[in-house]
């Protein structure tokens, strides 16, 4: 039996690719009997992704412990061959150090990347007092409105409201959610931090509009963004460092 053999819907792999490729070009994937995981930090050390994909996300899954270095541009090209509902076969060939993809009648062999110089980032333990869960579509609409106005946004959590504010030189965008517009909120104190809109937008795009997204906030602290993927069989956590307000 090969050390790793699996079948999975293409849309699951596409979500994983979108989630990671916003930050890095190559990723080290940890393979284990219970599923896949990876952690990566962008070259500017502004953002981090921590992703896990349990075996329940796959239609078939067999794995021993191993790690694979993957070129994400190559993976993107391979996934272009599949529609979202296509099933993709995956198999690790130890003798050639390749990952073999089967999509329909096509077999594509991809050489893996050396993982020697890829770090193992540690997820910092942050004490973030505010936790807000909202529908991703609401957040995405606020981001879309902000992109015409500014390159940064402020996220504010109050005791019963969440706000996204983009201040440009002349214009402003303000999204305010409260009451039934919020899925869940725990915020004993007001938390406010400023973030790069570009990074935040790319992270938020990975979630489907009707799904929930959770933001953990402090004042002038990183934001921790969390959401489930693959019908709850996978989970993604992002950390994004704040921009310190100059005024």
Which of residues 82, 111, 140 is at a domain's end?
111
The whole-number pLDDT of residue 117 equals: 84
For residue 37, being part of any structural domain is answered with: yes
Q: Which residues span the domain enclosing 181?
A: 130-240
Q: Are residues 45 and 142 in the same domain?
A: no
Stretch (H or E) spanning 193: strand 191-196
CATH number at residue 228: 3.70.10.10
Domain boundary among 78, 111, 144: 111
Indicate whether 11 and 41 sit together in one domain: yes
162 and 224 assigned to the same domain: yes
**Residue 71 included in any domain:** yes
**What is the number of domains present in the chain?**
2
Q: What would the pLDDT profile of 181-219 be if each residue is shown by its tens digit? A: 999 999 999 999 999 999 999 999 999 999 999 999 999
> Could you tell me if 19 and 103 lie in one domain?
yes
100 and 107 Cβ atoms separated by less than 8 Å: yes
Angstrom CA distances, 168 to 10, 12, 26, 150, 171, stand at 40, 37, 34, 5, 5
Residue 241 to residue 234: CA distance in whole angstroms: 24
- Mode of pairing for the β-strands spanning 98-103 and 106-111: antiparallel
**Phi then psi dihedrals of residue 197, to 5 deg:** -70, -35
pLDDT for 245 equals 60
User: Could you tell me if residue 185 is inside a domain?
Assistant: yes
In this prediction, residue 119 carries a pLDDT of: 81
Please state, in angstroms and rounded to a whole number, the distance separating the CA atoms of residues 190 and 174: 17
Could you read off the pLDDT of 147-170 as tens digits, one per residue?
999 999 999 999 899 999 999 999
Report the CATH number that the domain containing residue 107 is assigned in CATH: 3.10.150.10
Q: Do the domain assignments include residue 160?
A: yes
pLDDT at 131: 97
């Amino acid at each position: 039996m090969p050390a790793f053999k699996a079948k999975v819907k293409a849309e699951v792999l596409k979500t994983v690719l979108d989630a990671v490729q916003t930050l890095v070009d190559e990723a080290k994937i940890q393979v284990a009997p219970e599923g896949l995981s990876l952690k990566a930090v962008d070259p500017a050390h502004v953002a981090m992704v921590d992703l896990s994909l349990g075996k329940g996300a796959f239609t078939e899954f067999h794995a021993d412990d191993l790690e694979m270095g993957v070129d994400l541009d190559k993976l993107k090209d391979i996934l272009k061959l599949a529609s979202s509902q296509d099933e993709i076969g995956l198999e690790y060939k130890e003798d050639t150090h390749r990952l073999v993809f089967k999509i329909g009648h096509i077999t594509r062999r991809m050489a893996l990347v050396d993982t020697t110089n890829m770090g193992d980032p540690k997820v910092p333990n942050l004490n973030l007092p505010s936790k807000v869960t909202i529908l991703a579509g609401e957040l995405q609409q606020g981001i879309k409105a902000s992109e015409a106005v500014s390159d940064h946004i402020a996220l504010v959590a109050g005791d019963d409201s969440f706000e996204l504010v983009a201040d440009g030189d002349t214009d402003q965008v303000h999204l305010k959610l409260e009451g039934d517009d919020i899925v869940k909120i725990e915020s004993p104190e007001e938390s406010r931090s400023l973030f790069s809109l570009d990074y935040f937008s790319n992270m938020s795009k990975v979630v489907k509009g009707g799904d929930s997204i959770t933001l953990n906030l402090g004042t002038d602290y990183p934001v921790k963004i969390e959401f489930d993927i693959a019908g709850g069989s996978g989970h993604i956590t992002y950390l994004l460092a704040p921009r310190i307000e100059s005024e």
